[in-house]
Chain A
Amino acid sequence: MSMPDKYKIAVDGVSKSFTSDKGTLPVIAGVSFRVADGEFVAIVGPSGCGKSTLLNILAGFEPPDTGSITHDGLPHTQPSPKGIVISQHGSVFPWLTVQQNLMFGLVGKALGSNRKEKAALADHYAEMVGLKGFESSYPHELSGGMLKRVEIARAFAVKPEILYMDEPFSALDALMNLKMRNELLRILGEERHTVLLITHDVEEAIYMADRILVLSPRPATIQASFAVDLPHPRKLGGPEAQKLREAILRELGL
């Protein structure tokens, strides 16, 4: 019975519906999948199919109606610093400087209990994402791409086991979006984490993920799964990537 333990994340039969005056709306109808330690899994699906709801459940912000989620075989029901969410609109605190933001997750942590060590750790991650020299800037003084870097660095600083990314780069312009993909892969090359990426951008998924799960329209179920066995850096124009893209788009009904 030690089978589930070898998975970082095990999701079993998760479903969720929302009730309003108009009746019950099933959003997720029985989603099950496994994620191995260090694996990068992308979940793609059409708009409004319940992707974000699924991520909120996976991260522990909302309880599922049925089903269970385990991390390393242990039940996962609450948000925790072990799995940090990076979302489309970001959540960098505008009232804190870049360095204070990076130190936020280190509050009350045993590691580096004095301020100096925390500041050094924050500066290390600021440098890793290319924010050196901006440690004392406030978020409103930074561009959208730099804010995303702050958010990524803040997540990495607490050394999470899992990164949940909900359309992390879709609020950025197209060029910055492409740039941040490479940045993320570079940073993950330095410190490997298990990643769950939710996106509607098939190319983004092919470019970064080890495996791609395709969700059906609402109520969401997992309709298909694709392994991406291509070496990095990937060429999206290459024949294998194009074939994969067409297969995924066909699953999405396009």
Chain B
Amino acid sequence: MAAAAFENERESALIGRMFGRVLPPLAVMALLIGLWWWYVVKIESPIYPTPLQVVTGAMELAEDGTLWEHISASLLRVGIGFGLAMVVAIPLGLWMGWVAGAYRTLNPIFQMLRPISPIAWIPLAILWFGMDDISPIFLIFISSVFPMIVQTTNGVHTIERRFLRAAANFGVSRRVMFFRVVIPAVLPEIIVGMRIGLGVAWLVVVAAEMIALHSGLGYLIMDSRNAGNRYDLVIASMILIGFIGLMLDGITRLLEKLKTVRWRYIR
């Protein structure tokens, strides 16, 4: 009897904790939506949509399939641009971290290019690649390659000396040192760089799509506004962009659960 009561108590404590975590943010969200709804109804605006209109507008697009086309177009551009950035940034960052001469030569250039907003590259991108798919891919590449280079290089520079010394003590070759010590030691930093890079890439793809093209979530926002002030679709796209961004970050965070990098994120 006592044990069952104890079990019950534990269970209710667990449920209580879950509610404590989930309930407050849900309440804030509900409050915001409620305020929005109440205000739009009150001012009887012909432009601002109610939350219900946003949902029905999004359902409309989902049903005729155009919504999925826009989403997959944006994701494809991010996938290609971010993938290329990774292929360039990780080896380059490792090399710059490991070879002092490479760092001295290249770091000043990258430090100067890094603070230039990817949006500033748009005119040059259009000049070089036209209004095609390649321009946004180039902008995504530019936006995510620098943070990943910097993070990887920094990761190599901050490897603790005791690990390098231990490896040297065992008399391993430079090759073994690089692949069994340097790369695994930097991997957690590379994953952090990937999270930053992917976050920036998702920001930039929407901005890049607003200017040109005929597909993507950024295009959907501008097109909805231009073609008859469909602000319900504008807001639906915004919410979708936020939601997909959250999902992308969640996917990269899964990498942090890998057994070989766990050590870096605990404590």
Question: Which chain A residues have a beta carbon within 8 Å of chain B's beta carbons?
Answer: 59, 61, 79-81, 83-85, 87, 89-91, 93-96, 104-105, 107-108, 138-140, 158
Interface contact A138-B172, CB-CB below 8 Å:
no
Which chain B residues border A61 with CB–CB below 8 Å?
Answer: 165, 168
Question: Nearest Cβ distance between residue B30 and chain A, in whole angstroms?
Answer: 40
Q: Is the interface of B mostly helix, strand, loop or mixed?
A: helix
Nearest B residue to A81, CB-CB: B171
Interface residues of chain A: helix, strand, loop or mixed (majority): loop
Across the interface, A91 reaches (CB within 8 A) one of B165, B172, B173, B264, namely B165
Select one of B165, B169, B172, B187 contacting A95, CB under 8 A. Answer: B187
- Chain A-chain B contacts (Cβ-Cβ < 8 Å), number: 62
Chain A: CB-nearest residue to B262: A140
Please report B residues at the A interface, Cβ cutoff 8 Å: 162-163, 165-173, 176, 180-181, 184-185, 187, 259-264, 266
Pull 19 A–B residue pairs with CB atoms less than 8 Å apart, ordered by A: A79-B171, A81-B170, A87-B162, A89-B162, A91-B162, A91-B163, A95-B184, A95-B185, A95-B187, A95-B260, A96-B260, A104-B167, A104-B170, A105-B170, A105-B172, A108-B173, A108-B176, A138-B259, A140-B263
Q: How far is the CA of A108 from the CA of B172 in the complex (A)?
A: 7
**A residues near B172, Cβ cutoff 8 Å:** 104-105, 107-108
Q: Kindly provide the distance from the CB of B184 to the nearest chain A CB, expressed in whole angstroms.
A: 4
Please give me the residue from chain B that is nearest to A90 by CB atom. B162
Q: Which residue of A lies closest to B173 (CB)?
A: A108
**B266 neighbours in A (Cβ, 8 Å):** 140
Residues of chain A within 8 A of B181, CB atoms compared: 93
Which B residues lie within 8 Å of A139 (CB)? 263
Nearest 10 pairs between A and B by C-beta? A91-B166, A94-B263, A95-B184, A105-B170, A91-B162, A81-B171, A140-B263, A95-B260, A79-B169, A107-B176
Q: Smallest Cβ distance from A244 to chain B, in angstroms?
A: 32
Q: In the assembled complex, which residues on chain B have CB atoms less than 8 Å from the CB atom of A87?
A: 162
- Is the Cβ of B163 less than 8 Å from the Cβ of A80? no
- CA distance in complex: A87, B163 (Å): 11
Q: Is the CB of A95 within 8 A of B261?
A: yes
Collect the chain B residues with CB atoms within 8 Å of residue A95's CB: 184-185, 187, 260-261, 263
**A170 nearest CB across to chain B (Å):** 15
Report the minimum CB–CB distance from A116 to chain B (whole Å): 19
A85 to B187, CA, bound (A): 26
